[in-house]
Amino acid sequence: MFHRSSPRDPFRLLALGMWLSIGLSMGLQPLRTWHGHMFTLAEGATRVSGGTVVVGLDQEPPNLDPHASPSAVTFQIIASVTENLLYMDHNRQLQPWLAESWEVSADGTAFTFRLRQDVKFQDGEPLTAEVVKWNFDRIVDPNFKAGGALNALAGYSGTEVLDTYTVKVKFKNSYMPFLTYVASGVLSLVSPKAVQERGEHFGQRPVGTGAFTVAEYVSKDHVTLIRHPDYKRTPPWGEHQGPAYVEKVVWKFVPEPGTRVTTVETGETQLINLVPSQDLPRLEKNNNLRIAAVPWPGVPRILMLNVQKFPTDELAVRQAINYGIDKDALVQTLFKGTGEVAYAPLTMGMMDDPSLRAFYPYDAEKARQLLEQAGWKVTTGDGIRERDGKKLTLLINNIDYGGGPWPEAQMVQAQLQELGFAVTIKSQARAPWYEDNYKCLTNAPVMFLRAGDWDGLYSLFHSSVIGANFNFSCYSNPKVDALLEQGRQERDATARRQIYLTLQRLLLEEAVSVPLVDERSVWAMRNTVQGLKFNVFAYPVLSDLFLTK
């Protein structure tokens, strides 16, 4: 099955190194026709070699260098250009990819990878242990401005080349999330020779070991990928060995949603991303199209509650907000078909547990009771609650990409006003939005985070990232810090899950955020497009893609 993303996406940034893994179901289903959330091969469809698929993408990436980009859109494009040492399947199990096998030291600080010996970059350079070392060293080099990749190497202390094809990556402390990160786009490997030769142009034409090469980059217009004729392997999700089926994939940047939708309806593109929820019903009725909705892994669309600022510094107020927001209404109106109700700081696809779902059912009456008990009463005709002469105010911090406040922020505003809050939305450009969050100046920033590992919570709730990315709840709790640190160190999968489950329960008890919507990355495609798959991070993989007549 498939899932979604946000209507105005752009939080790619927040992805900051975190789209690591996870992936939820979906993706990687071999050729089928679309049944609900499953693709099946269209009747009579045979795999055809050749042809060009044009994809309408909502935005242009800052660059295509996996180590330098802070943006998720980069990985939409290059998921079949660069490859990783490991691969994470849809059951979150690690599989060999460019590494044949791997080992973790007993203390969890060293990871040894034995590489395949038949791997060559698209420029002919062989993949060796030296190359792996060079890649990781590049990311932490202070002269290199790394994107999300830097976070993925937290505590990196160096790489040791054991022999031509064996490499040991070392960390200062036990760091288990590394296994997820080493299987995700930010730590995919690039050719050192190409980085040197192409210089500043490398960001537009990266060279990896994948089934597609970047042939052309036209600023503000498109990127063209061409299948690599010498690709000899079967990718871990793949169903065939050797070069990809389609000859060319053109990623065309079409930022205006109406225009993008039109292009797939007319056939000018064969595939588009970020289908707006208001267009979904129409597209679903179109017999020439199919829809894929892939769950984004990570942190849902979420309202962070600032525990340092009045009145969200009060637990009862934060809990009242949690009870008082009707998430079902959000999903039914604004996110219909592109999201589901969120219950916890990690999406249900990342970790589902009945105890998490049970925390805050929508209950406006209970919300009012909590406020009354805490002494917040409506005394004047304006319907706004007061206590000791102070009004119950709430300042929502919202990024404006040019279209005004996000509709979900407005809906939350309306719902909380019903409960007696005076809610103001501060809708502003991204940079001042961050500034306010670093300084803990607003009550409730709206955000989301694409993260592949549970460790994504570290950047949201560890006390060391107050005033940085992204502890915008300005929340400091030694118990939470300890759990986040244990989570990084625990080697046993069951125990690790238990740590993050306990952590999420604690965060929900403390009501430091309001999880709103688990989003999906929604794609629409022509029926001629077959064999498209999505990896565990919700990015499209292209090697099994083919076009029917």
Question: Which of 432, 497, 505, 527: binder of other proteins (CB under 8 A)?
Answer: 432
Residue with Cβ nearer other proteins (112 or 286): 286
Q: Cβ of 461: how many Cβ atoms within 10 Å?
A: 28
Binding to other proteins by residue 487, rule CB under 8 A?
no
Binding to other proteins by residue 222, rule CB under 8 A?
yes
Using CA atoms, how far apart are residues 269 and 55, in angstroms rounded to an integer?
6
Q: Are the C-beta atoms of 385 and 367 separated by less than 8 Å?
A: no
DSSP class of residue 504 equals H
Q: Cβ of 340: how many Cβ atoms within 10 Å?
A: 22
Provide, rounded to whole angstroms, the least separation between the CB of residue 168 and other proteins. 25
Burial (CB < 10 A; 0-12, 13-18, 19+), residue 139, is buried
Residue with Cβ nearer other proteins (283 or 294): 283
| Diameter of the chain measured on Cα atoms | 78
Q: Are the C-beta atoms of 12 and 19 separated by less than 8 Å?
A: no
Helix H or strand E segment including 160: strand 156-163
Residue at 28: amino acid letter:
L
Residue with Cβ nearer other proteins (14 or 367): 14
Provide, rounded to whole angstroms, the least separation between the CB of residue 72 and other proteins. 12
Tell me the CA distances in angstroms from 236 to 84, 165, 295, 321, 380, one per residue in order.
11, 20, 20, 45, 65
Question: Which of 107, 230, 418, 435: binder of other proteins (CB under 8 A)?
Answer: 435
Residue with Cβ nearer other proteins (37 or 198): 198
| Binders of other proteins in range 132-151 (CB under 8 A) | 142, 145-147, 150-151
Using CA atoms, how far apart are residues 167 and 161, in angstroms rounded to an integer?
5
Binding mask 400-429 for other proteins (x = CB under 8 A): -xx--------------------------x
Binding to other proteins by residue 43, rule CB under 8 A?
no
Strand pairing class (444-450; 393-399): parallel
Provide, rounded to whole angstroms, the least separation between the CB of residue 173 and other proteins. 18
Using CA atoms, how far apart are residues 322 and 79, in angstroms rounded to an integer?
37
Question: Which of 6, 263, 427, 442: binder of other proteins (CB under 8 A)?
Answer: 263
Binding to other proteins by residue 461, rule CB under 8 A?
no
SS3 124: coil
Question: Which of 172, 240, 336, 430: binder of other proteins (CB under 8 A)?
Answer: 430
Return the closest-CA partner of residue 68 out of 136, 147, 151.
147
DSSP class of residue 412 equals H
> Interhelix angle for 407-418 vs 315-324, to 10°?
110
Number of residues that bind other proteins (CB under 8 A): 48
SS3 351: coil
Residue with Cβ nearer other proteins (63 or 135): 63
Return the closest-CA partner of residue 325 out of 506, 509, 516.
516
| Binders of other proteins in range 14-33 (CB under 8 A) | 16-17
Question: Which of 43, 118, 200, 388: binder of other proteins (CB under 8 A)?
Answer: 200
Question: Which of 125, 137, 247, 268: binder of other proteins (CB under 8 A)?
Answer: 268
Binding mask 61-90 for other proteins (x = CB under 8 A): -xx----x-xx-------------------
Question: Which of 43, 106, 118, 266: binder of other proteins (CB under 8 A)?
Answer: 266
Interface ranges with other proteins (CB under 8 A): 13, 16-17, 56, 60, 62-63, 68, 70-71, 142, 145-147, 150-151, 200-201, 203-204, 218-222, 252-256, 258-260, 262-263, 265-266, 268, 401-402, 429-432, 434-435, 468-469
